Structure 1
Amino acid sequence: MDRPHSTSAPRVRRSRAEQKRETRDALTVAALVAFTRDGYHGASLEGIANEAGFSKGAVYSNFGGKAELFLAVMDYNLGALRGADWDPLAMPEASGSGAPEPSAGHDEDPARMVRGFGLAMLEFIATAARDDTLIHSLRARVQVLIDAYGRVAAAGRPDDEELPVDEVAQLMAALEQGATMLALSGAASIDSALLRTGLRRLVTPAAAANEPSPVRDAHASPLPDVERVRRLIRDTIDS
C-alpha cells in the first residue's frame, strides 16, 4: 500500500544570517515605538526587547547599546521616509473620491508619532553632541538627509543658479529641521503647503516667486513627514 503524500509545502529552514536579520529588524521596529512613546532617555532596552518578544540579551547580540539601536532606528526612518521616490516638493496624494476619510483618532496617530520621535531625536542629538565618537555617526545620518535634498535640488536646478547644489541642499534641510523645531517648541507652525513653497523658492527662486501664496490648511500638521507616515500606515493596513 502506497503511503499518502503530504500536500503541505516543505518547510524552508532559515539561515542563521536570516534569523539574525529578522531579530534585528523586529528590535528596530520595537525601538521606534518605544523611543516615540517614551523618549530616548525614557526607553529601556529591556522594555524594547520585551515588546519585540526577545530577551535583553538579544539586544546586545545585535547592537552595542541604546545609542547604536537609536542609530538603527534613524536608518530605518531615513529609508522609509527618504526613499528613492521621496519628493518634498510634490503635493500630498489625494484620497480617492470614494475612499472613506480617516477618523479623528487614526488621523492623530501619525502626528503623535512624528512629534514623539522628533522629541526623542532632540534628546539623542544633545547626547551625541557631547560624545566625540557618537557625533560622527550622527553626522553621517544627517548627511544622508542632506544628500536626499541634494538630489532634489540637482533635478530642479535652473541654469542660472550660482549656489552649489550641496549648499542649496543644506539650506533645504535647515528649513525643514527649523520648521520642526518651531512646531515642537510650540512657538510657531509652518504647515506643509508653506514648507513646500519655501523649499521650491530655494530650488527655483525665480519661478517660485511668481507662484501665488500657499493656501494654509488649518487641519494640516506643522510637522514634516506626517503625511508620509500616514501613507505608510495606510499602505501597511491595506497590505
Structure 2
Amino acid sequence: MSELPAPLSRQESQRQTRQALVAAARAAFAKEGYHAANLELIAREAGFSKGAVYSNFDGKAALFLAVMDANLEAALAEGAWNVSEQPEDPDTGRFGSEEVVEALKGFALATLEFIATAARDENLAVELGKRMQALTNAYEAVAEESRAQDEELSASEAGALLTALDQGAALLTLSGSAAIDQRLLRIGMQRLLAPSAGVVAARGGAGEPALHDQVMRNRIAAALNDQLPPPSDG
C-alpha cells in the first residue's frame, strides 16, 4: 500500500495559493483590464473565496504588482541575451504565439490603466518604479552583452535607452500604430548598441507587434504554457 503524501506545510500551501491567484489574475487583467477585473471572480477562478485574495494581498493593486513580478521573473530568469543574435523559436506547446500576443497586449493595456492610477498614488508610484528599474537593470545587462567595446555610452545609459525603446515601441503598438514591428525594434536595439557595426536583422518578426523584445516574449510564452492544465483525453 502506497504511503499518503505528506501534508503541505503552511508556507508551501500559501505559496501555491498565491501562485494560483496570480495566474488567475494575469488572465483576468489581460481580458478585462485593471479597473474592470473583479477580485471575487479572480478568486473563484483560482479555486478560492475572495477572502483568500485579502489573506495574501493588500488589494487589487498589490495583486497586479505581483502579476508584474511574475512576468518579469519569467522574462528575466535566464539572464541577458545578445540582440545581435537571432532568438530561438519558443517551445510554446499549446499556448500558440497568437494567444501569447493577445495575452501580452491585454496585460499591457491593463498596465497603462495601472500606470495612470499609480501616478496619482505616492506609494504605488514607488512600487511601480521598482519594477521599471528592474526592467532597466535587465536591459543594462543586455547592453553589457551586446554593445561594442568602444561604445561611448555606459551600460547603464544604454540600458535606460533600450528600456525607453522597448516601452515606446509597445506604446505605439497599443495605440494602433504599425510603424514599429518586432523586426524594426530589434534593428533599433542593434543600432543603439553598436552604431558603427553592420546590423544583423532578425529573420522573422516583420509585421509582428512590438510588445517587448522577442526573447522576453518567448520566455513569457514558455512560462504561460507551463501554467496550462494538461490536455483532456476526451
Shorter-chain-normalised TM-score: which range?
A: 0.7 to 0.9
Alignment match of 1:121 (pick from 78, 100, 111): 111
Contact 2:187 2:200 in 1 (8 A): no
Question: Residue in 2 aligned with 1:25?
Answer: 19
* Distance verdict in 2 for CA 1:74–1:95, change over 3 Å: closer
SS in 1 for 2:168: helix
Distance across 2 between alignment mates of 1:40 and 1:77: 16
Per the normalisation by structure 2, the TM-score is: 0.86
Give yes or no for the alignment of 1:167 onto 2:157.
yes
Unaligned runs of 5+ in 2: none
* Matched AA of 1:110: V
**1:222 paired to 2:210:** yes
Moved more, 120-129 or 210-219: 210-219
Q: CA deviation at 1:87?
A: 2.5
1: CA distance between counterparts of 2:35 and 2:229? 34
Deviations 1:96-134 (A, max 9, x none): 9xxxx999x944211110110010000000000000111
Q: In terms of mean alpha carbon deviation, does 67-76 or 227-236 score higher?
A: 227-236
Native 8 Å contact 1:194 1:216 kept in 2: no
Closer/same/farther in 2, CA of residues 228 and 15 from structure 1, 3 Å limit: closer
Q: What TM-score does the superposition give when structure 1 sets the normalisation length?
A: 0.84
Q: Give yes or no for the alignment of 1:64 onto 2:52.
A: no
Deviations 1:38-92 (A, max 9, x none): 0000101111101101001000000000000000000000001122245261423
Percent of paired sites with the same residue: 46
Contact preservation (8 Å) 1:153, 1:169: yes
Q: Tell me what 2:3 maps to.
A: 9
Length, aligned pairs only:
226
Displacement after TM superposition at 1:95 (Å): 7.5
Amino acid aligned to 1:35: F
Query: 1:181-209 CA deviation, whole Å, 9 max, x = no partner?
Result: 111001234222211111111222211xx
- Stretch of structure 1 that moved more, 214-223 or 71-80: 214-223
Cα distance in 2 between the residues matched to 1:154 and 1:199: 13
**In 2, distance between residues paired with 1:229 and 1:213?**
22
- Please say which structure displays the higher CA radius of gyration: 1
